[in-house]
Structure 1
Amino acid sequence: MNRSFIKYHSPLVIILFFVLTAVISCTFALGELKVSNEIDYFDILGEGGMTIITLVWIGFILMSRPAGKVTNWLFSGLLLMNMSMLLDFMDEFIKYPDNNAWLTTLDSLPAPFGMVIMSIALYQWYQEQMTINAQLRRTERVYRDHTLTDFITGLYSAKYMKQQIKHQLLYSKSSNKPFTLMMIDIRQFDQFNRQHGYQQGDNLLREIGQVITMNIRDKDLACRYASDRFIVLLPDTSNETAETFAWHIENSLANLAFKVGSDLKANYQEITLCSKEYNGTESNYQVLELLNLKMEVTKKQNPYPLGNNSLGKQVA
């Protein structure tokens, strides 16, 4: 069984341990053990089984999912349901005095809240899966050439992007519809490679590529243009509209808390992002030359703040 994600959920594991310990301690502190002839062993089997099953579900969630909002919602809902089941299970062993009889009714309260939270979590999980499925459909489009993809990121290669730009220029010229290219540059990526190694650099590029893919439309194309640069082709899109996509991509990358190996410290990357609109009158070579030129101008206008580990908001 894959346990690669469990190391990212230390806070949730601590919360789980604390809640279970608190529930068991409170029931023993506020009540007393029943005598053997007062215990219903069939209830123990059923309620104990449900308590264990919810704990197993929590374990599967923590072992199989990355940290994030959906995981937190799933964990919270299951934990509340487990609290109700654990309290109900402990009632089979513990008898409360009259002044603490309220504990026998408390066991039914967390479960409904847990079910509501679980419903929200399952809907968000569904939305997440729809996004992933859209990515898969995007990468398996009929015109995809499997020899023209970047091995590390899974995005299209620069060679394929150049072919698509050539086709887009012809289409824009004949239809009088503009298109926009967006370039994303990772600042000091060489320094990251030297500090953490090329394998971690590849992992970072892969995650950045996924973030970009999740923030563009089905008809858009994303490629890894160079070692630390990405290009997004936005057909039938003005530069003004492209700035909205740039804003979404920038904010998503701002929350990309990349962690190196088992290190709990998150690494946030500085980026520069620029976009340029074309109307089909340019040549294939001029398009990329003008885009690269705009990127260099943007970087000079927004110099990299040395020693700052937050994302630079540099959209032009």
Structure 2
Amino acid sequence: MNEQADILLKKTSFFVFVVFSMVVSIFALTSPVDPEFSTVDLVGKSLTLFFVGFWIYIIQRSTASQRVYVNLFIGFSLYFIGALEDIFEEVLEVSDVLDLIEDYGMPLGMFFISIGLFYWQKEMSEANEMLRKDKELLNKLNNIDKLSGLYNSAYLQTQLEKEVDRAKRYHRRFSIMLIDIDAFNEYVETYGQLESERLIASFAENIKQNIRRTDIACRYGTGDFAVILPETEKMAAMHLAERVRKSLSVQALQPEKSFGLTIYKTVSIGVASFLSDEKAAALLARAEKAMRFAKQSGKNKVYTFKTDSVVSPS
């Protein structure tokens, strides 16, 4: 209903302005020419009429709000009347009215135009901000793994490249850890796909609770996770990985086919820290190799190749 009222207001006011401008034009053309009123003046008035009408037509066709339109319409109309003050002298014999038109017509018009443009700019900024937030939300949804609620592997690759570029440019250090659920395929075969999905979702939530706000947690594979650790040296990354490993190893699981028994699952974690001039793919490969070594060494371990040290479960 409000939208229909806005459309009616715009069309009606524009129609009134067109009729009014036509009457003024006809009067100007049919009235005796004042010796002081030159051809240049007439052309100037005609151009003023054209541009004012053009702008009113533009805002009438726009999606501007009623607040914006009313201020601009009043402003352009007053400006139009003030600009044609000498023509109105031929019609109006009331000097007080003429004085008001001459003194305040154009200034008041510019005042209302300024208010209208201010609100228009404000509404455009708000609309652009909403569009930006919607775009960010859409991009985020496209980068989120629906099952785990973490970022997906495509986002991991993108962010890892950015982190490598930043580390090279500013000589910063960062690390990455890859987390693999031990014997995940056997868990799927024993308890089914639905329970394996619940396992992934619960482990993902656990990982988010045990990392820092600046860390970037992603789902890397079927039963794998990855966490980018900005501004993190090797030893700090190892300690954080060990904290995650311990937390996941004591998380109680009760799948339907366990007959009421509590199940515990462990993870193997590979950690790699960025080396100077290293590419993202090479860093990721080192983390994967470390993760495989942790699994081959008995599982439920944290390993990094930089020092060939293994953190065993306590």
- Report the TM-score when normalising by structure 1: 0.50
CA contact (8 A) 1:180 1:276 kept: yes
Query: How many residue pairs align between the two structures?
Result: 168
Aligned match for 1:231, one of 218, 226, 230: 226
CA contact (8 A) 1:223 1:231 kept: yes
TM superposition shift of 1:303: 2.6
- Deviation by residue 1:64-98 (Cα, 9 ceiling, x = unmatched): xxxxxxxxxxxxxxxxxxxxxxxxxxxxxxxxxxx
TM superposition shift of 1:287: 2.0
Corresponding residue number in structure 2 for 1:241: 236
Corresponding residue number in structure 1 for 2:260: 264
Corresponding residue number in structure 2 for 1:288: 284
Q: Distance in 2 between matches of 1:220 and 1:249?
A: 13
Q: Tell me: CA distance 1:164–1:253, structure 2 relative to 1, closer, same or farther (3 Å).
A: same
Aligned match for 1:186, one of 168, 176, 181: 181
Corresponding residue number in structure 1 for 2:204: 209
Counterparts of residues 31-42 of structure 1 (less than 5 Å): none
Corresponding residue number in structure 2 for 1:168: 163
DSSP-derived class of the 1:190 partner:
helix
CA contact (8 A) 1:176 1:279 kept: no
CA contact (8 A) 2:216 2:229 kept: yes
TM superposition shift of 1:274: 1.8
TM superposition shift of 1:142: 7.6
- Deviation by residue 1:226-258 (Cα, 9 ceiling, x = unmatched): 011110000010110112211221121122001
Q: Distance in 1 between matches of 2:137 and 2:172?
A: 24
Q: Does 1:251 align with 2:246?
A: yes
TM superposition shift of 1:209: 0.3
Gaps of 5+ in 2: 1-135, 304-309
TM superposition shift of 1:280: 5.0
Q: Tell me: CA distance 1:288–1:253, structure 2 relative to 1, closer, same or farther (3 Å).
A: same
Corresponding residue number in structure 2 for 1:299: 295
CA contact (8 A) 1:169 1:279 kept: no
Q: Distance in 2 between matches of 1:298 and 1:143?
A: 37
Q: Distance in 1 between matches of 2:212 and 2:262?
A: 29
Corresponding residue number in structure 1 for 2:147: 152
DSSP-derived class of the 1:184 partner:
strand
Q: Tell me: CA distance 1:234–1:143, structure 2 relative to 1, closer, same or farther (3 Å).
A: farther
Aligned-pair identity in percent equals 24
Corresponding residue number in structure 2 for 1:99: none
Q: Tell me: CA distance 1:142–1:174, structure 2 relative to 1, closer, same or farther (3 Å).
A: farther
Relative contact order higher in (CA < 8 Å, ≥ 6 apart): 1
**Cα RMSD for the two superposed structures:** 2.0
CA contact (8 A) 1:171 1:280 kept: no
- Deviation by residue 1:10-29 (Cα, 9 ceiling, x = unmatched): xxxxxxxxxxxxxxxxxxxx
Gaps of 5+ in 1: 1-140, 305-311
Q: Distance in 2 between matches of 1:143 and 1:245?
A: 31
- Deviation by residue 1:262-312 (Cα, 9 ceiling, x = unmatched): 842111112111211004521222222222122222322x134xxxxxxx3
Q: Which of the two has higher C-alpha Rg? A: 2
CA contact (8 A) 2:182 2:295 kept: no
